[in-house]
Amino acid sequence: MTFRNGLDSLLRPEDSVLVLIDHQPYQLANVNSHEPMMVINNTVGLAKAAKAFGVPTILTTVIAERGGNLFPQIADVFPGQEIIDRTFINTWEDKTTVDAVKATGRKQLIIAGLWTEVCVAMPTIQALGEGWDVTVVTDASGGTSVEAHEVAIHRMIAAGANMMTWLAVASEWQRDWARMDTAVKITDVVVQHAGGSGIAYLWEQQLLNTPVPSTAG
């Protein structure tokens, strides 16, 4: 196995491309590894982070006519963008999707989707075999059971994939809070989608802007 370590192994927005796979009603209905609302929240947070950092994002569904359209919360992040609808279960066998990824010129491939054990594992393992640097966002994905999700993660790690959560991806893209062009944008995403971290930030801002009471003389 080739170990993933060193500075060059960290994600860089200029080298990243995100593929969101099959975040659709049919798949979500049988997600049992995560609370469904959290999967939606985390995926939208990931999508907004990608947009904030200018990371190309490929949106794809499988037979949307039957399985349902992409979650509108995700589609709304990229208004007017084409959503690639496939018949292949394995996204990496769908030429239109793969061509869209290759057209970006990026090699850090980031994947999230439903279900982890099927629609995430298949393209991840194939892309790894073709030389791609693949990161799977585990909390913007979900499986039909905790076991299915966890076994898929172990399988993909064994194949050489990198595992991260959405907030870790966003933080790695930011890397330095001195990068003010994106710091404000990603802070807004954290406030909207990072739960306690966002609330703590708002509280901090409240305290910093609260006048100190004058003491009686």
159-212: pLDDT as tens digits: 999 999 999 999 999 999 999 999 999 999 999 999 888 788 788 888 888 876
pLDDT > 90? residue 125: yes
Catalytic residues: 119
Residue 80's pLDDT is 95
pTM of the predicted model over 0.75: yes
pLDDT tens profile 72-100: 999 999 999 999 999 999 999 999 999 99
Q: In what order do the strands lie in the sheet with 84-86?
A: 84-86, 57-62, 16-21, 108-113, 133-137, 162-164
Residue 200's pLDDT is 83
Place of tokens 């585990």: 138
Domains and CATH numbers, the chain: 13-175 (3.40.50.850)
**Cα dihedral value 75, 77, 81, 82, nearest 10:** -30
pLDDT > 90? residue 57: yes
